[in-house]
Structure 1
Amino acid sequence: MTPADLSRTVLHAVHRAVAENALRAPVPARVRVERTRPGGSGDFACAVALQLAGDAGLPALEVARILRERVAAEPGIGRVEITGPGFLSFTLDAPGDSDRAMLDAVREQGSAYGHGGALRDEVLRFHHPREVRAAVTADAVRRVVLSQGARVRISCEEAGEAEWGLLGVTVDAYGTPPVTSPADPSAPLIPVRPVPAGATARELLERLGVDATRWGLLRPASHDRAPLGDDLLVQGEANPLFLVRYAHARARALPRGAAALGFTSESDAAPAPYEAASDAAPYESPARPLLDLLADHPRVLLAAARRRAPDRVARQLEAVAHAFFDFHDSCPPLPSGDEKPSAAHRSRLALAEAAGTVLAGGLSLLGISAPAHL
């Protein structure tokens, strides 16, 4: 993590604290972090708590405590201390530590990696018109917010098409419910009204099938028109749906190839050192973009849940797929020719497996299948 990365991380913590009403103060345009002076604690220090204390009407030590809670768990940060009148002092993880922790988390949590309980106190009621894109969007929103712990109920203005069931859509009630629930006044009705698809579920299923229909309806933002042409069926990397599913299938194939060669990935394999032969620093290796995207996956899922935006999940999967192929082509996880499997190959394989797991989990949240073979 660079000083610029750390500055952005602290600024993000300030944004979160203000959004969650834990801190009432204007968010600064930037946060300055500096190398700790001789005799100080940690690698870097930041005085943002002292800067915000006056506007927040709180002691700087209290502001620092609020921010520490929101920074300490971020990838790359080993320890956060409060020193002096309210300085935040940061000790960064040793290179590779946070990457190993992330890969271990993916391995342990599987397709549930990125799921959490941030919305566990929320009861969400979504209501949509009798239109296929609205129905599929509401269903995907349900899946995403459930992954973050919320309780969800979906209603539709009137009974939908029979084909909605083939698309995996479930509706809890029909008709227009009250704007607020008598059982829970804190759960207002949330409308789901994307730009209509311009076709029925039957028409789309006959032409595109389930997976391409769902991707075509969910990939664009709700306020944009959904392109639903036959290019969604093209078996080529120019088709984002094919790219994502092909990346998943390729990631799943690598462990099979490794097993045939007599080796497997190791949970404690560090992904950074395997580029030691290059002149680039470990964090600048071809693996870095993929590692960063996988580490960012939980934040993306939470943002998609809070924004009711499954398109964010689709875009994240596209980015992971592109990064996976860039990494795979630059750092092949399997040895070639007479080359023997090494620790580097095990490390690469661990990262490839993690990418496949994240792609599978993301596709599942979108209600799209993730075949192991294409």
Structure 2
Amino acid sequence: MTPADLSSTVARAVRRAVEDGELPAGTGVPERIVVERTRPGGVGDYATPIAFQVARAAGRPPAEVARVIADGLAAEPGLDRVEITGAGFLNFTLAPRSAAELVREVLSRGPRYGYADDALDPDPFCWGPTAGFRQRAVHEAVVRILRSQGSSHGTSQGSSQGSADGGPPPPVAPVARRDGDVVAAYGRDAATWAALAVPARETPHFDARLLVQDESGEFFLVRYAHSRAKALGRAATRLGFHAEPGPVDAPALLRLLAEYPLVLEAAAHRRAPEQLVRFLVRVADELLDFQHCVLPKGDEKPSAAHRARLALAEAAGTVLAGGLALLGIDAPDCL
């Protein structure tokens, strides 16, 4: 269950409570219910303050509202426990999920893994003549990420109609004059990466590392890791085997794949594509370390373990491709 799925599940529980008379008629349900990773030392995997929001409309104490919501979630598939802490915070512990289940979900959903169930396709972008390259890159990435999480407020006129969540557009520092035409100098994809790699308020940094064709450059690293996942699949085909999710010993990479939906939710909530940039670098690092155990070596015959490792590598490549697409950057199959 992704954070977006959990948000939708909680919203349904609140609506049922109103329909069943457990909460007063007319109690509104917020359009978006924020679910965040529990802080270190906290209870469960995720938490939400939704009971405080609903309590104001219901005219009841938050702890009482939280109990009603928790009772409505007691038999929800994918949840192991729902607990109440403090004055009414709901804390969720997800049911354990195997590596095979996680990888299978990523591969079945493809580049849309991590999207909310009510995700929207981004509107066409249309910009006025005064919009600069970085403003376009940042606002378009924000719109894509928000709409991947189900926001209905995406705008196709980012420079004139506000941000994708209906508020004022986030301040965007332009490209420094000394950097000149960065698209001409570095190419659109590399320039977009640099434009999104730091918070919108900060001036982006452009240098020769964007053109480096080795793993010392993060832009190259992420796209190279994706191309390696594709290359592993081609090599496996030549060896006569294919990916099949199963048990695999790669806790760091599996943990990152499981976190990806939360990263998208947080990037949408904060309108911060740089968080997605940093995450993709972490996935690429782990995938490039993991790749060496995917294919049989020497006289080894392909086994169930190799098929499971290949499936995990392909799932990681899928996350990289999906994340790059949200940033507006191409993910080449060969590099």
Q: Please state which band the TM-score falls in when normalised by the shorter chain.
A: 0.7 to 0.9
Contact 1:141 1:310 in 2 (8 A): yes
Q: Tell me the secondary structure at the aligned position of residue 190 of structure 1.
A: coil
2:327 corresponds to 1:366:
yes
2:280 corresponds to 1:271:
no
Q: Tell me the secondary structure at the aligned position of residue 339 of structure 1.
A: coil
Structure 2's unaligned 5+ residue stretches are: 1-37
Q: Distance in 1 between matches of 2:132 and 2:172?
A: 9
* Residues 359/62 of structure 1: CA separation in 2 closer, same or farther (3 Å cut): same
* Residues 150/207 of structure 1: CA separation in 2 closer, same or farther (3 Å cut): same
Q: Distance in 1 between matches of 2:93 and 2:138?
A: 41
Q: Which position in structure 2 is the counterpart of 1:10?
A: 44
How many correspondences in the alignment? 284
Contact 2:179 2:206 in 1 (8 A): no
Equivalences for residues 295-374 of structure 1 within 5 A: 295-329=258-292, 332-374=293-335
2:287 corresponds to 1:253:
no
Aligned-pair CA distance for 1:7 = 6.3
Q: Tell me the secondary structure at the aligned position of residue 325 of structure 1.
A: helix
* Residues 117/308 of structure 1: CA separation in 2 closer, same or farther (3 Å cut): farther
Q: Distance in 1 between matches of 2:309 and 2:206?
A: 37
* Residues 358/252 of structure 1: CA separation in 2 closer, same or farther (3 Å cut): same
Bigger radius of gyration among the two: 1
Q: Which position in structure 2 is the counterpart of 1:162?
A: none
Q: Tell me the secondary structure at the aligned position of residue 13 of structure 1.
A: strand
2:58 corresponds to 1:56:
no
Q: TM-score, normalised by structure 2?
A: 0.73
2:214 corresponds to 1:236:
yes
Q: Distance in 2 between matches of 1:91 and 1:189?
A: 33
* Residues 348/216 of structure 1: CA separation in 2 closer, same or farther (3 Å cut): same
Aligned-pair CA distance for 1:253 = 0.6
Contact 1:103 1:351 in 2 (8 A): yes
Q: Distance in 1 between matches of 2:43 and 2:230?
A: 33
Q: Which position in structure 1 is the counterpart of 2:157?
A: 155
Cα shift readout 1:182-224 (whole Å, capped 9, x = no counterpart):
xxxxx74422322211249981121011110100101111122
Structure 1's unaligned 5+ residue stretches are: 25-53, 158-175, 181-186, 273-286
Cα shift readout 1:207-245 (whole Å, capped 9, x = no counterpart):
011110100101111122211112111112111111101
Q: TM-score, normalised by structure 1?
A: 0.66
Aligned-pair CA distance for 1:14 = 3.8
Cα shift readout 1:113-159 (whole Å, capped 9, x = no counterpart):
11114677xx9xx99963221111011111111211223114365xx
Cα shift readout 1:150-189 (whole Å, capped 9, x = no counterpart):
23114365xxxxxxxxxxxxxxxxxx55x89xxxxxx744
* Residues 200/133 of structure 1: CA separation in 2 closer, same or farther (3 Å cut): farther
Aligned-pair CA distance for 1:270 = 2.1
Q: Tell me the secondary structure at the aligned position of residue 232 of structure 1.
A: helix
Partner AA of 1:58 in structure 2: E
Q: Distance in 1 between matches of 2:298 and 2:108?
A: 33
Q: Distance in 2 between matches of 1:221 and 1:65?
A: 40
Aligned-pair CA distance for 1:68 = 5.7
* Residues 131/108 of structure 1: CA separation in 2 closer, same or farther (3 Å cut): same
Q: Distance in 2 between matches of 1:5 and 1:210?
A: 38
Aligned-pair CA distance for 1:22 = 4.3
